[in-house]
Amino acid sequence: MPELPDVAVYVEALEKRVLGATLERVGLRSPFLLRSVDPPIRAIEGKRVESVSRLGKRIVLGFEDDLHLVIHLMIAGRLRWRAPEQRSKPGVGGKLLLAVLDFTTGTLLFTEAGTKKRASLFLLRGESALRSHDRGGLEVLDADLTAFEKALRSESHTLKRALADPTLFSGIGNAYSDEILHRAKLSPFALTGSLGAAEVERLFHATRETLIEWTDRLRREAGDGFPEKVTAFRAEMAVHGKHGKPCPICGTLVQRIVYAENECNYCPRCQTGGKLLADRALSRLLHEDWPRSIEELEERKRGMSGGDRG
């Protein structure tokens, strides 16, 4: 799912292209995309874009007459831009294309890979309706340490869950929570109430630094173009999506825990004192054979290699 850095860069790219432009036509290609009924989607045709903003992981286009189009990309939703001279260029076809928004300055294509169709559009009227889509999480880049600690300790969660909870922190999800916790050298499954003051401060700075650095990196990558390579897995990431690869800090192989449709990636030496966190499915399967530490895991791998040679 695109998180704060990706969404922020999307917003900046859209602001350059559609702010002050008029939306001429909306073409919906999927009956499941539009999740609101009143006002009707045609109400924004012929209206000028007055603002482009981020609301958590959502993109909001503000139109005349206090109308707000809320774009929620979810996991696989993506945006593409076609300048006026590119409108005749073959676009994204088939089941990927969910909507086409024709502005006086170009065309915005809304796509989604896969078959689950979770991405959504909402057309809302008025600020109160828009606020109902605000999950209420803290904007860490606008907050101080005191506000961060208050949000962090407001619920008893693991750090991984707390960072990715949109009611606690805005714009952070599965990918960047892994990167933040690795930078902070904290276990993803440490409880929010167990952290000391120094650890909270370390997590606060790691959160800000990670989000700022990745936003700047993605901004440089996009340059003057429209961001086309939006993905949760990037070669420059330290641990997210790097299962089995060496940690860039200590060289220990990155471990992961898979749960539901997400995964947690971490370095056992940098973050958990060498302890391997139990993957529920594997630990249930292996029982006593589940390795408890990175040393035990490495010893087993050496034993297996020796057995193969024999």
Q: What HEC string does the chain produce?
A: CCCHHHHHHHHHHHHHHHCCCEEEEEEECCCCCECCCCCCHHHHCCCEEEEEEEECCEEEEEEHHHEEEEEECCCCEEEEEECHHHCCCCCCCHHHEEEEEEECCEEEEEEECCCCCCCEEEEEECHHHHHCCCCCCECHHHCCHHHHHHHHHCCCCEHHHHHCCCCCECCCCHHHHHHHHHHHCCCCCCEHHHCCHHHHHHHHHHHHHHHHHHHHHHHHHHCCCCCCCCCCCCCCCCCCCCCCCECCCCCCECEEEEECCEEEEECHHHHCCCECCCCHHHHHHHHHHCCCEHHHHHHHHHHHHHHHHC
> Given this model, what pLDDT does residue 89 score?
63
Domain positions in the chain are 4-131, 140-269
Looking at the predicted structure, is the pLDDT value of residue 306 above 60? no
Model confidence at 7, pLDDT cuts 50, 70, 90, reads: very high
Looking at the predicted structure, is the pLDDT value of residue 90 above 60? no
> Closest by alpha carbon to 209, among 185, 190, 192?
185
Please give the model's pTM, rounded to 2 decimal places. 0.90
CATH class of 4-131: alpha beta
Average pLDDT over residues 159-177: 97
pLDDT digits (tens, 9 = 90+) for 187-239: 999 999 999 999 999 999 999 999 999 999 999 999 999 998 999 999 999 99
**CA 129 – CA 3 distance, rounded (Å):** 23
**CA 158 – CA 189 distance, rounded (Å):** 5
**What mean pLDDT, rounded, does the chain reach?**
90
pLDDT digits (tens, 9 = 90+) for 8-38: 999 999 999 999 999 999 999 988 999 999 9
Q: Which residue has the tokens 């990670």?
A: 210
Q: What distances in angstroms separate CA 10 from CA 14, 81, 111, 223, 260, one per listed residue?
A: 6, 11, 14, 12, 28
Vertex 146, ends 144 and 149: CA angle to 5°? 110
Model confidence at 117, pLDDT cuts 50, 70, 90, reads: confident
Looking at the predicted structure, is the pLDDT value of residue 159 above 90? yes
Looking at the predicted structure, is the pLDDT value of residue 286 above 50? no
> Given this model, what pLDDT does residue 95 score?
80
> Given this model, what pLDDT does residue 97 score?
94
- Give the CATH fold of the 140-269 domain: Helicase, Ruva Protein; domain 3 (1.10.8)
pLDDT digits (tens, 9 = 90+) for 229-283: 999 999 999 999 999 999 999 999 999 998 767 789 999 999 999 999 876 554 4
pLDDT digits (tens, 9 = 90+) for 145-154: 999 999 999 9
Model confidence at 138, pLDDT cuts 50, 70, 90, reads: very high
Name every residue whose Cβ is closer than 8 Å to that of residue 295 and which is 6 or more positions away in sequence. Answer: 274
| Burial (0-12, 13-18, 19+ Cβ within 10 Å), 217 | middle
Cβ-based neighbour number of residue 35 at 10 Å: 12
Looking at the predicted structure, is the pLDDT value of residue 289 above 80? no
